[in-house]
Amino acid sequence: MSEPTDLVRIEDVEKDYRRGGEEIPVLAGVNMTIPQGDFLALMGPSGSGKSTLLNIIGGLDRPTNGAIYVAGERVDTLSDRELAAWRARHIGFVFQFYNLMPTLTAEKNVDLPLLLTPLSRSERQKHVAAALAVTGLSHRAKHFPRQMSGGEQQRVGIARAIVTDPTLLLCDEPTGDLDRKSGDEILSLLQALNRDHGKTIVMVTHDPHASHRATRTLHLNKGLLEDHPME
Amino acid sequence: MKFFPVIWCGLKRKKARTILTLMSIVVAFLLYGYLSAVNTAFNMGVTVAGADRVVIRHKVSIIQLLPASYQARIERVNGVAKAAHMTWFGGIYQKPSNFFPQMPVVPADFFEVWPEFLLPEAQKQAWLRTRTGAIVGRRTAEKYGFKIGDRIPIQATIWRQKGGQTTWEFDLVGIYDGAEKNTDTTQLFFRYDYFDEARVQAKGSVGWYGARIQDPNQSALIAQAIDQEFANSPEETKTESEGAFVQGFAKQVGDVGAILAAILTAVFFTILLVVGNTMAQAVRERTEEIGVLKALGFTNTLVLWLVLAEALMLSFSGGIIGMGISWLLISRGDPTGGSLPNFFLPSHAFVSGFILMLALGAATGFLPAWRAMKLTVAEALRRG
């Protein structure tokens, strides 16, 4: 069996925030790699920099120093426009509070990333139907977010994240707003996406129970990474 | 068009607010359309005024009369091709609200100076034969159901007949049309000889003269020459182009154009603030959604266009509905019952209305769109 190749390479990434006149270091030289097909959980106390690291991997934020490579491409030096196009092509985001458009139905929400592709309407509809089927929400396609439970809304959020078949799935506390049962369902779905569809997933979480579903867990503390292989 | 759901979802977010804002835009454009028609109706005389005609009136005011004998002297002035006179009769047909202008004229002179009034030759001959004959414009004939052969009684408010009679009766011998769409076809003309003989006061006088001139480029010089002809006489004249005369007539009511412009400026300034505030608030509330769109790969420029498109959609929806309602109201006809014969929504009002909708949308959408464009994804998601 061949060694998995590194999909993400992070080299000496530092991130400082300026608050008032003060520079606050959030990431203090992070080095890590994420192999293709990995399901990585990022854990750490509040303010440890895990969400910032996730945002930097996903091209939502830029490091103060260091370099990020995804699928061999350096992304931290891309222009805003190039970065937006890169995100559309390579990244799927899952947010803690689902972040669905409240006035759009589930299928229209899932369709949003596809609007940036040259696909025809009927092709888009096929992709949307497939993504909803994978998340088990085909029967809720015409429902608005307010008509769905938190778990269902998060499934729509996951369907939106995978509909373009991105290279990398980034999840920021995906179960943080859900009860244990719904959270378990979401984690099972993410596991299935990783196991059955080969999706590479990076998940930020506070919840040790959630991190146990990942294949690997990394801990961040005060902007530095500590490797704790899963027991 | 594939982004339409994204634009539409912004407007749907707070339905009540969107509907109220939309209604305020509807009202603004309804007013705009209606007042444009009023303005056009007031100024129509100016725009259809003949460039090759001057009007000669009493120097003091239009209501002062001039001697009928001036006609020959005006025609003798170099550059004048033909002169004809009119006098304001100001009568009432059945009731005061049935307003249409009536004027005594000399038929042969009248058609020579105002050829835009088209009357079939047979009817013209009938008028020349009938001393109590009158002709009326198509619009008034249709409005009151006048037919040739009818006897039309008009109640005088200024001119009494010998014996104190105030009712003048005219035999309708012709119905004229206008050479152009804008030609006023609401007036009734009757014979001056009948009028002058029957009236008790001011015999031998007329209201004003119209004169056709040979070279419109010389109108200022000819006007000066005409006024010079009557200088130092008991009835001095003021000669001006027909456009200026009609404008002066309309301005007796006030500078309608300026009044309407002031009203519309106030209305649109208020609307600008209302819609601008709505858009700013709507975008502020959607900071997180904008962050999500950007996270999904929507570029800053695309976000700018989406917010601008939302403002333009609001502005055009309200504008089109407002102009549509005003068009419906205007097509019901003159709301004054005859004082504004040319009451219609001019095509230029549609064009400027379109420009106004564009300007309103752009002005109200630009700032929020710019802010949305400048928002960084991380910041937008944090603020949300």
Q: What is the pLDDT of residue A206?
A: 87
Mutant choice from A78, A95, A103 vs B, greatest count of B C-beta within 10 A: A103
| Helix segments in chain B, DSSP class H | 4-12, 15-48, 70-76, 107-113, 121-129, 138-144, 192-198, 219-229, 242-250, 256-285, 287-296, 300-330, 347-374, 377-383
Q: Taking chain A, what is the end-to-end CA distance rounded to the nearest angstrom? A: 23
- Band of pLDDT at residue B63, cut at 50, 70 and 90: confident
Minimal C-alpha gap between B249 and chain A (Å): 57
A80 vs B contacts (CB less than 8 Å): 299-300
A-contacting residues in B 233-292 (Cβ below 8 Å)? 288-289, 292
Rounded Cα distance between A62 and A144, Å, is 34
Q: Residues B243, B245, B249, B254: what is their CA dihedral angle, to the nearest 10 degrees?
A: 70
Min CA distance, B273 vs chain A (Å)? 26
pLDDT at A231: 37
Distance CA B374, CA B384 (A): 15
Alpha carbon distances (Å) from B331 to B63, B93, B179, B322, B382: 34, 24, 22, 14, 55
CA distances to A26, A75, A83, A146, A193 from A66, in Å: 13, 11, 17, 42, 31
Least Cα distance to A58 among A79, A39, A83 occurs for: A83
- The answer to whether residues B170 and B126 touch, using CB atoms and an 8 Å cutoff, is no
Q: Which residues contact A45 (CB under 8 A, 6 or more apart)?
A: A221
Q: Which pLDDT score, from 0 to 100, does residue A55 have?
A: 92
Residue B267 has pLDDT above 60, yes or no: yes
Which is more confident, B77 or A231?
B77
Of A121-135, B99-113, B249-263, least confident by mean pLDDT is: B249-263
- Helical H runs in B49-90? 70-76
User: How sure is the predictor about A127, in pLDDT bands with cuts at 50, 70 and 90?
Assistant: very high
Give the separation between CA B319 and CA B306, rounded to whole angstroms: 19
What does each C-alpha distance from A104 to A139, A140, B11, B182, B376 come to in angstroms?
A: 16, 12, 12, 51, 24
How far A179 CA sits from the closest chain B CA (Å)? 22
Please tell me which residue, B65 or B381, carries the higher pLDDT value.
B65
∠ CA A197-A199-A200, rounded to 5°: 155
Q: Are B337 and B255 in contact (CB under 8 A)?
A: no
- For B177, what's the count of Cα atoms within 13 Å in the CB-facing half-sphere? 5
Per-residue pLDDT band for A229 (boundaries 50, 70, 90) equals very low
Q: Is the confidence at residue A1, as pLDDT, over 50?
A: no
Q: Do A104 and B9 touch (CB under 8 A)?
A: yes
Does any CB of chain A come closer than 8 Å to the CB of residue B75?
A: no
Q: Report residue A18 CA to chain centroid gap.
A: 26
Say if residues A35 and A1 touch (Cβ distance below 8 Å): no
Interchain CB contact of A87 with B (< 8 Å)? yes
Give SS3 for B262: helix
Between B181 and A162, residue with greater pLDDT: A162
Mutation target vs B (from A99, A108, A163, A173; most B CBs, 10 A cutoff): A99
Which residue ranges make up each domain of chain B? 4-44+255-383, 49-252
Residues 181-210 in A contacting B (C-alpha not used; CB under 8 Å): none
Residues of B in contact with A55 (CB under 8 A): 377-378
Classify each residue of B80-114 as buried b or exposed e, where b means 16 or more C-beta atoms within 10 Å of its C-beta: bebbbbbbbbebbbeeeeebbbbbbbbbebbbebb
Bridge-based pairing state of the strands B133-137 and B80-86: unpaired
Q: What are the backbone angles phi and psi of residue B181, rounded to the nearest 5°?
A: -60, -35
pLDDT score, position B74 = 95
Confidence bin at A160 (pLDDT 50/70/90): very high
Angle between helices B300-330 and B287-296 (to 10 degrees): 120
Does B381 contact A at CB distance below 8 Å? Answer: yes
Check A101 against B300: CB less than 8 A apart.
no
Give the residue from A57, A107, A115, A167 with the most B CB atoms within 10 Å of its CB, the best one to mutate. A115
Phi, psi for B316 (deg, rounded to 5): -70, -35
Kindly state the average pLDDT of the residues B66-71: 94
* Cα three-residue angle A181-A182-A184, rounded to 5 degrees: 65
Residue A89 has pLDDT above 50, yes or no: yes
pTM over 0.80: no
